[in-house]
């Protein structure tokens, strides 16, 4: 496995860098990358940005908002947070397995004397409190798994920058996001700096073995900056232009996450549909929504559209009947 370290803390650059590593570096190799972002909210691929952020606070604090390639929920990054990314061949190209990549991080924390547990769909916790959220992107047999490690993040900013929906709070059984998250630094027996923590984390992940460090060339940096300018730095990508919609159907499904369906219906015909949520999927939910446009807005039409569709490809751990229930509500 090859080790990489981002040369920048610009969130637009770093999300571009992840995609560059995934798309362009030698597919015969496996990669582990550590990186940090200045204040940012990172939005899941399928999320409605406006509903996930506290826009006034984000603007006041000059917090960048960037959409990533993977599904899942919004997370807050600052310089007290360390991000990690694995890029390698998928164990199973038709299955999302987030725990496989969480285990090395949980094991590394045990080396620090911290009892870290893999919890729920995509979290790593200490004493039931989340310090690491994880997400995954699969394409052509390769997987990009990335996650956060809150070391000494500003928990007040975490709370203020993210608008957490009431159903998510209720489903986790907590009163607020502040009581649900924590920092790794609180649990270390002896205080260390984030840099010391990072260096020891690398040794733990590589189990003390020698590893190859990748050095980005100027050509690499130019390609990343091009991707930054053309995608991750663009308002259309991070917020998205959506026409007005008149129907919203939303539900949180255990094991899947939140699924929100926004629809515009004209004279009984669906003219627009968009899926939002913190769900994961092997396939792009936008492709599924296009199949509904131009079709009748009724159960019979939904059934016909979904008859040859594996719903679980678009919404991990969601059944066809469960999606039908949401559409019919």
Model confidence pLDDT, tens digit, residues 81-138:
999 999 999 877 667 788 888 998 999 999 899 999 998 888 999 999 999 999 999 9
Q: The tokens of 285 are what? A: 């939910």
Let me know: does 166 contact 199? Beta carbons within 8 Å.
no
Residue 315's alpha-carbon distances to 16, 69, 181, in angstroms, are: 25, 15, 26
Res 179: pLDDT: 45
Res 95: pLDDT: 75
Res 175: pLDDT: 36
Res 174: pLDDT: 39
Res 93: pLDDT: 64
Kindly tell me the burial class for residue 189, based on how many C-beta atoms sit within 10 Å of its own C-beta (0-12, 13-18, 19 or more).
Answer: exposed
- Give me the residues paired with residue 88 across strands: 143
Domain annotation for the chain: domains and CATH numbers: 2-238 (3.30.930.10), 247-328 (3.30.390.50)
Please tell me the least confidently modeled range out of 161-165, 203-207, 252-256: 161-165
Residue among 1, 212, 183, 202 nearest 111 (CA): 202
> Could you count the other beta carbons within 10 Å of the beta carbon of residue 274?
19
Res 178: pLDDT: 41
Q: How confident is the model at residue 168 (pLDDT cuts 50, 70, 90)?
A: low
Residue 9 has pLDDT above 90, yes or no: yes
CA atoms within 13 A on the CB side of 101: 31
Res 120: pLDDT: 80
Q: The tokens of 21 are what? A: 């590593």
Helices (H), ranges, 28-85 = 49-52, 55-60
Q: What is the CA radius of gyration of the chain?
A: 20
Res 165: pLDDT: 58
Question: Which strands form 64-67's sheet, in the order they lie side by side?
Answer: 64-67, 40-43, 75-77
Res 153: pLDDT: 96
Highest mean pLDDT, choosing among 54-58, 166-170, 289-293: 289-293
Res 169: pLDDT: 46
- Give me the residues paired with residue 133 across strands: 123
pLDDT digits (tens, 9 = 90+) for 194-250: 999 999 999 989 987 888 999 999 999 999 999 999 999 999 999 987 777 789 999
Kindly tell me the burial class for residue 322, based on how many C-beta atoms sit within 10 Å of its own C-beta (0-12, 13-18, 19 or more).
Answer: middle
Q: How confident is the model at residue 164 (pLDDT cuts 50, 70, 90)?
A: low
Owner of token pair 């998510």: 168
Helices (H), ranges, the chain = 11-24, 49-52, 55-60, 98-111, 155-161, 166-172, 194-205, 218-227, 235-238, 285-290, 299-306, 311-314, 320-328
pLDDT digits (tens, 9 = 90+) for 268-325: 899 999 999 999 999 999 999 999 999 999 999 999 999 999 999 999 999 999 999 9
Mean pLDDT of 136-157: 94
Mean pLDDT of 51-79: 94
Q: The tokens of 51 are what? A: 């509903």
Residue 228 makes CB contacts below 8 A (sequence gap 6+) with 10, 12, 13, 16
């Amino acid at each position: 496995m090859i080790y990489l370290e981002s040369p920048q803390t610009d969130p637009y650059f770093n999300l571009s860098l992840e995609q560059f590593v995934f798309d362009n570096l030698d597919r015969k190799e496996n990669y582990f990358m550590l990186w940090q972002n200045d204040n940012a909210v990172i939005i899941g691929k399928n999320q409605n940005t406006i509903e996930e952020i506290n826009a006034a606070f984000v603007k006041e604090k000059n917090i960048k908002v960037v959409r990533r390639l993977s599904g899942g929920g919004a997370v807050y990054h600052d310089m007290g947070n360390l991000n990690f990314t694995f890029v390698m061949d998928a164990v199973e190209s038709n299955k999302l397995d987030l725990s496989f990549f969480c285990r090395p991080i949980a094991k590394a924390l045990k080396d620090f004397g911290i009892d870290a547990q893999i919890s729920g769909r995509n979290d790593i916790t200490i004493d039931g409190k989340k310090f690491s959220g994880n997400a995954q992107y699969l394409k052509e047999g390769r997987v990009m798994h990335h996650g956060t490690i809150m070391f000494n993040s500003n928990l007040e900013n975490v709370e203020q920058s993210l608008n957490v929906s009431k159903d998510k709070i209720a489903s986790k059984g907590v009163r607020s996001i502040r009581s649900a998250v924590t920092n790794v630094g609180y649990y270390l027996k002896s205080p260390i700096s984030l840099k010391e923590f990072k260096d020891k984390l690398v040794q733990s992940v590589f189990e003390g073995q020698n590893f190859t460090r990748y050095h980005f060339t100027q050509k690499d940096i130019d390609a990343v900056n091009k991707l930054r300018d053309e995608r991750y730095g663009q308002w259309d990508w991070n917020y998205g232009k959506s026409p007005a919609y008149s129907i919203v159907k939303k539900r949180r499904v255990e094991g899947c996450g939140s699924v929100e369906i926004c629809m515009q219906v004209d004279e009984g015909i669906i003219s627009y549909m968009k899926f939002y949520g913190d769900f994961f999927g092997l396939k792009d939910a936008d492709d599924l929504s296009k199949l509904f446009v131009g079709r009748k807005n009724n159960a019979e039409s939904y059934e016909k559209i979904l008859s040859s569709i594996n719903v679980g490809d678009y919404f991990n751990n969601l059944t066809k009947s469960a999606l039908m229930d949401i559409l019919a509500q």
